Amino acid sequence: MIVILKANLDGKSPEYAQIIDYLAHKPNIRTRVHQEIGTQQTLTEIYLIGDTASLDKTEIESLPGVDRVVRVSEEYRILGRHKDDSRPSGFEYNGVKFSQDNLNVFAGLCAVDTPEHVELMLKALRDNGQVCTRMGAYKPRTNPYSFQGHGKDCLPWVFELAGKYGIKVIAMEITHDSHLDEIQEALRKTGNPTGVMLQIGTRNTQNFELLKIVGRQREFPVLLKRGFGITLEESLNAAEYLASAGNRNIVFGLRGMKTNMGDPHRNFVDFAHVPVVKRLTRMPVCIDPSHSVGTRDASPDGLLDVFHVTAQGVIAGANMILVDFHPAPAKALVDGPQALLLEELPYFLEDVAIARAAYEKRRELAKRFLAKK
């Protein structure tokens, strides 16, 4: 059960004390307080854990200072979409809004390689009106002899270049908690020219200790990729780990599932789950067409499979696209074969806009149909 307090209710007010006192007298109930401090208001939620079935929802709602009470099902207590749960979804980070209603494109390099390539990529993004990108500094590789990413050494110049080209958010994978410290330090030393969304990759979806550490910090939002060999429920519970540790600014990423059934794609594309994740939780949903498809193969209609699956995810309501580009894919140190070319960026964005407009039309159509019922 979640007790949602009136906005800006002071923790030292008599109303707050009365609520806490009321709950303290209920047997077998533990409480956990969560605060979201926004620019406009501070929202406080009290999570009740234990024998909540015996509690009287209406009685709690009548306490001064309580806005409303939501009964949560066992699943995804914090991130889940519960009955009569009208809490807003999404968040804002460094001036960029993330929600289940909008769409952000994160085109960029799978892995940072040279300053020249990074700068060419960022310039192309700026020239095409983009303020987000993806750039991997820490790369989890299947083969220990493969390039592992430049790590912390590249962070200062990557951040400075991102700032130079007006990039507000870089999705950057971390595989160890020390990477979080390194990112924080590099941002501080360079004067915060940009922002970072910490990415937890598919190989770390169930790295619970990493999830707890990343969840305990609230400076950076998190993109959690779905585990490629576990159930959706297990991956959503991994997201709940982040939230239960304190950070709810989470985007959930679909990136395809590992099975030969998906051949000839690198992974079996799972974007049919975009609306499912939006129904089960309040997280914005990201799609990663590059790691799903893994090639630049095209169909007879002239469209690359990466374009096709992107459109499939977007027309189903995806809220973020993580997509690999490279100025010279043959020279890329990671995932060159799936990278789109810089000259394809405006074409890709236009194709995305077509699919997004179609989704918005479909949403309006559904609204009209439901209003008649």
State the nearest-atom distance from the C-beta of 204 to ligand PEP, in Å. 8
Compute how many residues bind Mn ion; rule: CB under 5 A: 2
The listed partner (ligand PEP, Mn ion, none) that binds 212, CB under 5 to 8 Å by sort, is: none
Residue 108 vs 317, nearer CB to ligand PEP: 108
Q: Phi/psi of residue 70, each to 5°?
A: -120, 130
Residue 291 binds ligand PEP, judged by CB under 6 A: yes
> What is the C-alpha separation between 162 and 177, in angstroms, rounded?
23
Residue 110 binds Mn ion, judged by CB under 5 A: yes
Residue 137 binds Mn ion, judged by CB under 5 A: no
Residue 135 binds Mn ion, judged by CB under 5 A: no
319 close to 96: Cβ distance less than 8 angstroms: no
> What is the C-alpha separation between 127 and 107, in angstroms, rounded?
13
Q: Which helix (H) or strand (E) holds 194?
A: none
The listed partner (Mn ion, ligand PEP, none) that binds 179, CB under 5 to 8 Å by sort, is: none
Both structure tokens of 345: 């960026």
The listed partner (Mn ion, ligand PEP, none) that binds 201, CB under 5 to 8 Å by sort, is: ligand PEP
Amino acid at 363: R
> Which part of the chain contacts ligand PEP (CB under 6 A), choosing from 62-70, 72-80, 197-205, 296-304?
197-205
5 close to 65: Cβ distance less than 8 angstroms: yes
Choose which of 117, 225, 278, 308 interacts with ligand PEP (CB under 6 A): 225
Residue 113 binds Mn ion, judged by CB under 5 A: no
> What is the C-alpha separation between 97 and 345, in angstroms, rounded?
22
Choose which of 173, 305, 335, 351 interacts with Mn ion (CB under 5 A): 335
State the nearest-atom distance from the C-beta of 197 to ligand PEP, in Å. 12
Residue 201 binds ligand PEP, judged by CB under 6 A: yes
72-76-79 Cα angle (round to 5): 90
Compute how many residues bind ligand PEP; rule: CB under 6 A: 10
| Cα distance from N-terminal residue to C-terminal residue, the chain | 32
Per DSSP bridges, beta strands 96-98 and 91-93 are: antiparallel
State the nearest-atom distance from the C-beta of 295 to Mn ion, in Å. 13
Residue 136 binds ligand PEP, judged by CB under 6 A: yes
List C-alpha distances in Å: 202 to 137, 151, 228.
16, 19, 6
> What is the C-alpha separation between 147 and 135, in angstroms, rounded?
15
State the nearest-atom distance from the C-beta of 109 to Mn ion, in Å. 9
The site for Mn ion (CB under 5 A) is made up of 110, 335
Binding site for ligand PEP (CB under 6 A): 110, 136, 173, 201-203, 225, 255, 288, 291
